[in-house]
Chain A
């Protein structure tokens, strides 16, 4: 079974860049697959952020395009997320997820990492 674990700073200042890493085990991130980031603001629903294929094809939420970058690191064991120019509206629990069956749904999820944007 795929296991995912998010890591990164829990506090980011407004206008700075949010960077998160997702460690993957139980499945090779370079095998045929998709991987994604989803977030959930406090008390709110799920918001899809981005998806990347094992070949590097990326798909972004239009509302975040221009600020967000999803990538797979060269060691092929980490999934990364960068979100620039953050504001309080970016405060959320950020989940990484595998999309092994296709780009249309997330099958295994990490526990989530709370990121607060505040000065």
Chain B
């Protein structure tokens, strides 16, 4: 089962903007779009956005998602210390009828 591709790590300065990427193909990200999850160490994941750019209730507007072709992106503006976490993307693979995850990106806020 092929997964989605995410860079293993990203480092940005406090109050700067980070853009995380997630690359799939036309059967997954390019089809129904991607969701983004945030996971702090020792905690369950938390949904940040779904189907490219929909934010669940309670999620800060500092988190915004988009998609271009087969690549989804999560942009985090005004980085805060609490944004330091692992970020995962996921998507439905319409060919395999499975959910696929990216390997995760560890975001460090300097």
Which A residues have a C-beta under 8 Å from some C-beta of B? 36, 45-48, 51, 59-63, 95, 101-112
The 9 closest A-B pairs by CB, nearest first: A104-B92, A105-B35, A109-B44, A48-B99, A45-B104, A105-B50, A46-B101, A45-B103, A107-B47
Q: List 23 A-B contacts (CB under 8 A).
A: A36-B99, A45-B86, A45-B102, A45-B104, A46-B45, A46-B88, A46-B104, A48-B90, A60-B98, A61-B1, A61-B98, A63-B1, A95-B45, A101-B50, A103-B92, A104-B50, A105-B92, A106-B37, A106-B45, A107-B50, A107-B56, A108-B47, A110-B44
Expressed in whole angstroms, the Cα–Cα distance for A110 and B46 within the complex equals: 10
**Would you call the interface of chain B mostly helix, strand, loop, or mixed?**
strand
- Can you add 5 more A-B contacts, CB < 8 Å, to A61-B98, A105-B47, A105-B50? A101-B50, A104-B90, A106-B35, A109-B44, A109-B45
Residue from A48, A63, A95, A110 with most neighbouring chain B CB atoms (10 Å): A48
CA of A101 to CA of B90 in the docked complex: distance in angstroms?
14
Report how far A111 CA is from B42 CA in the complex, Å: 9
How close is B22's CB to chain A, nearest CB, in angstroms?
12
